Homo-oligomer: A and B are copies of this chain.
């Protein structure tokens, strides 16, 4: 059953007022705000209907109404205006995007911080790695007689290294041999395929350098594992306290610790959703701790087939329009930066 035009307007007025004030709103105020030329009594009737249909709720008899999760859902699906970023806002975001290019990890971490600062909500950011990543090549560099650096590079162009110290001396020739062995025997394999059997075979071939093979391959495995593990960065958790719904210590406490835990694993329902933001409202969340909070997130492209996800967590009464506009703008800019190494067109470096 569809809602009448007027009811939609009422619902919208309720939501938009509640988003701003965090206070229940009464029929009179709606009458003024929604500037339908009807009296508060009419609104009252409509609001009673809306409540019956589950779009509004009453915290207690004779307080105003507040939107229910169902109401929010209707709002974001149908009613929400596309929020236009103001000049000032785009500038702030652009300024934020001008971060020095750093290792991927740091970019992601920093992006989270920026979003937290920008939105005043706790933010999270993660890169979704793939299980199917492989090592493309190994390089070994002798730095002293008894120490060498192993450099591994994955097929997604991520490079990691580690310094190994030995208790014996090592010749350039040995290292060369090892290098060949690694590059012929252990490239193109996923984490799962780096089996112990393989190691045993290789060890044989390596003769006296058998222990080194193991060290380097173990390291390669660690790299693959680290990259495939979606590691979530969170930032700005303290921002929660600024919003009235988390004044009750209990709520704040539990949500905060949930966000700090490493268990927090946001996931985007629309998965590959190219652009625009995903919104998950209150009880739609799977995690218990998020049941009365909402999550808004946008995904961005990391190049090399990797995707990132960035978003914020806040009260159900978030300003979805504004937040999702900012997030998707930010995500788009981030894609540019990360994959092209430059900035989106039309964004000048601020002095």
A residues with a Cβ closer than 8 A to B are 100, 102, 137, 139, 141, 143, 149, 151, 153, 157, 159-163, 165, 222, 235-238, 241-242, 247, 249, 252-253, 256-257, 259-260, 341
Contacts and interface: CB of A to CB of B under 8 A. Distances in A.
Nearest to A253: B241
Contact of A159 (B149, B253, B260): B149
27 contacts: A100-B222, A102-B222, A137-B143, A141-B151, A143-B153, A149-B151, A149-B153, A149-B159, A151-B151, A151-B161, A157-B163, A159-B163, A160-B161, A235-B260, A236-B260, A237-B237, A237-B238, A237-B256, A237-B260, A238-B256, A238-B257, A238-B259, A238-B260, A241-B249, A241-B252, A241-B256, A247-B249
Contacts of A151: 141, 149, 151, 161
Contact of A141 (B139, B162, B259): B139
Contacts of A242: 253
A149 B150 CA distance: 13
Contact of A253 (B139, B149, B161, B238): B238
A321 to B, nearest CB: 26
Main secondary structure of the interface of A (DSSP, over half): mixed
A159 B132 CA distance: 27
As for how many copies of this chain the complex holds, the number is 2
A252 B252 CA distance: 11
A214 to B, nearest CB: 15
Nearest to A116: B260
Contacts of A249: 241, 247
A293 to B, nearest CB: 15
A165 B339 CA distance: 12
Contact of A149 (B139, B238, B252, B341): B139
Nearest to A262: B113
Contacts of A236: 260
Contacts of A235: 260
A256 B235 CA distance: 12
A159 B260 CA distance: 30
A252 B247 CA distance: 11
Contacts of A141: 139, 151
Given A159-B162, A241-B249, 15 more contacts: A100-B222, A137-B143, A139-B149, A149-B151, A149-B159, A151-B161, A153-B163, A157-B163, A159-B161, A161-B161, A235-B260, A237-B260, A238-B253, A238-B257, A247-B249
> What are the nearest 3 A-B pairs in CB distance?
A238-B256, A241-B253, A238-B257
A80 to B, nearest CB: 30
A163 B260 CA distance: 32
Nearest to A248: B249
Contacts of A163: 153, 157, 159
A165 B153 CA distance: 14
A262 B196 CA distance: 44
